[in-house]
Amino acid sequence: MTLFNIPDLFEEISIGLRVIGLDPGKKQVGVALSDVMHMVATPYATLKRGKLSVMAAEISAIAKKEGVGGLIVGLPISLDGSFGPAAQASRDWAIALSQATGLPVASWDERLSSSAVNRALIDEADMSRGKRQEVVDRAAAAWMLQGALDYMAYRVKDED
């Protein structure tokens, strides 16, 4: 499968089907889900990073259970906006995951999502480091997915 851009991905996914947001890290992958109207992202789970076949099976199971029509994978673009090795690895993983799950996929810039979530958890929730580690990956996935959903909502609003 190919890597879609965000507008084309949403053309493939009908209202009524959710979108999974994935924030892949070295050890874990944060998972978030959109609502069926593609307006709100919610943290869902944290998966241990492993073999692609195992990850694809876990993500496929979530997709089937939750009525998912597509994936958005976080793209770690460098702070200066360049496309480095981490971004290429994320892109390759997204395409392989799409092929393994049969779900269409797009990438979305996830720069600083984990940092923003950590700051919010410290400042607003006054959460300890240990408790933050339990939720930061799935919260970062939701942060990233919400950015893509907001982009689409703004884009649709502009077309009206």
Where helices occur in 37-84 by DSSP H, the ranges are 52-66
35 Rama class: left (phi>0) / alpha (psi -120 to 50) / beta: beta
The CATH number linked to 28 is 3.30.420.140
Q: Has residue 110 been placed in a domain?
A: yes
Q: Which of 127, 155, 152, 139 is nearest to 74 (CA)?
A: 139
Owner of token pair 């950590």: 118
Q: Has residue 160 been placed in a domain?
A: no
User: Tens digits of per-residue pLDDT, 127-154?
Assistant: 555 555 667 788 889 989 998 999 998 8
Q: Has residue 47 been placed in a domain?
A: yes
The number of angstroms, rounded, from the C-alpha of 114 to the middle of its chain's C-alpha atoms is: 12
Domain count, the chain: 1
Q: Which domain holds residue 73?
A: 3-155
Q: Has residue 21 been placed in a domain?
A: yes
Q: What is the pTM (predicted TM-score) of this model?
A: 0.86
Q: Has residue 78 been placed in a domain?
A: yes
Owner of token pair 């720069």: 111
Q: Has residue 112 been placed in a domain?
A: yes
User: Tens digits of per-residue pLDDT, 94-132?
Assistant: 999 999 999 999 999 876 655 665 555 555 555 555 555
